[in-house]
Amino acid sequence: MIEIVERLAVEYAASRPNYEELAESIVRIVKGLAKDGSIDLFHTESRAKDIESFKRKLERPEKAGKYKKLKDVTDLCGVRFVVLYQKDVDKICKIIEQNFNIDIENSIDKNSASDPDKFGYMSIHLIVSHMENRIHLPDFKKYEGMKAEIQVRTVLQHAWAVIDRQLRYNNDSDIPLPVKRKLYRVSALLEGADEDLSEVEKSVGKLRQSYAVGVNGGQLTVAINMESLDVYIQNSRDIKEIESAARLAGIVVEATDTFDPKDEIKYNRLLSLTRSANISNIDELNNVLKSLIQTPEYIFREFSSNTNHKPIRLSIYALIRVLFYFSSDRKIRTLAKRSGGYVGSTLKAINSTLGSIDAD
């Protein structure tokens, strides 16, 4: 056995760089497909097993005689994808199943395969290799016959796994009884929280659907909040006309396909402005944007000219705040000047545009 271990260790040391690259190639492919499918990957990591860890694996009594060739070992490199919700686990697994060969015999769905009281928090473990059509490409030919392990888990599953490793209890029998009871309780709480968060995410999705139906049907009396405001911006024909007018004036309008948490500051400024103006629902906001002292086309054209036609890049949230300065309601205009959030050259261009309109 010692001779086999040493021989395979030498082979693995020579092949290890390729296994590192194999893991990285899997990450690139899945990341790209996840992005195309609007799936948020919270965390990604990849690695090739280190030499000493590889040797320890082969030296375990239960592994004696199992591995004759290096390619008999299916987890020489690994990739982990951590996502927010269980539905995203399912989506990532579907991407993997559609784009890689799956070694079903060696893959494990620990979510469904374990006993209800089994210690440890679960995830999906898939053993994969590149498909034949990809292996024929020059950059992938070196991965022929090589396999990798992919783990897919939620954030809370990942949190439990990290804690599990830190505690270093490999078996139930290793755990002192008082500790075991607490760990089971924590495990159950995390599993419950995972399921509850998935339900919350489903509820938000249903709420957004109902908002979208209302906006498309002209029913805008829904209260303003993050979700209703975002759905209104994504679906309103009036907003689309505002975006079009801005672009015709040479303003670069940032994409608004979905709400991006990175836009939180811009969003919060708009939300704060609407609340300061006592605008409590989407219908009232829509009326403000339809009751301006000039058309959006004219406002944006003058605004652009007052920036000396320098490139202007604004989000739709920012564009709406600009239009508050041109409301036909003087109270809202005064409020915008005080709380609109613009300073410097942008505020100067807004004031110049106001001056031009008043002069007309």
Q: Does residue 193 lie in a domain region?
A: no
User: What 3-state DSSP class applies to 89?
Assistant: helix
146-164 pLDDT tens trace: 999 999 999 998 888 887 7
pLDDT at 218: 82
Which of 115, 140, 155 lies at the terminal end of a domain, its last residue? Answer: 155
Same domain membership, residue 146 and residue 8 = yes
Same domain membership, residue 145 and residue 10 = yes
30-89 pLDDT tens trace: 999 999 998 999 999 999 999 998 888 888 877 777 888 888 888 999 999 999 999 999
Question: If pLDDT is split at 50, 70 and 90, which confidence band does 176 have?
Answer: confident
Report d(CA 358, CA 360) in Å as an integer.
5
Same domain membership, residue 226 and residue 333 = yes
CB burial string 55-93: b at 16+ within 10 A, e below:
eebbeeeeeeeebeebeebbbbbbbbbbbbbbebbebbb
Q: Are 47 and 172 in contact (CB under 8 A)?
A: no
Mean pLDDT of 320-349: 88
The number of folded domains in the chain is: 2
Q: Does residue 119 lie in a domain region?
A: yes
Q: Are 127 and 147 in contact (CB under 8 A)?
A: yes
Which of 155, 182, 201 lies at the terminal end of a domain, its last residue? Answer: 155
Q: Does residue 246 lie in a domain region?
A: yes
Q: Which residue has the tokens 């092949």?
A: 15
**Residue 113: is its pLDDT beyond 50?**
no
Which of 140, 155, 170 lies at the terminal end of a domain, its last residue? Answer: 155
Same domain membership, residue 318 and residue 234 = yes
Same domain membership, residue 151 and residue 7 = yes
Q: Does residue 279 lie in a domain region?
A: yes
Same domain membership, residue 353 and residue 229 = yes
Which domain, by its residues, includes 127?
A: 2-155
pLDDT at 132: 93
47 DSSP β-pair partners: 78
Q: Does residue 192 lie in a domain region?
A: no
User: What 3-state DSSP class applies to 83?
Assistant: strand
Same domain membership, residue 7 and residue 133 = yes
Q: Does residue 173 lie in a domain region?
A: no
Same domain membership, residue 224 and residue 126 = no
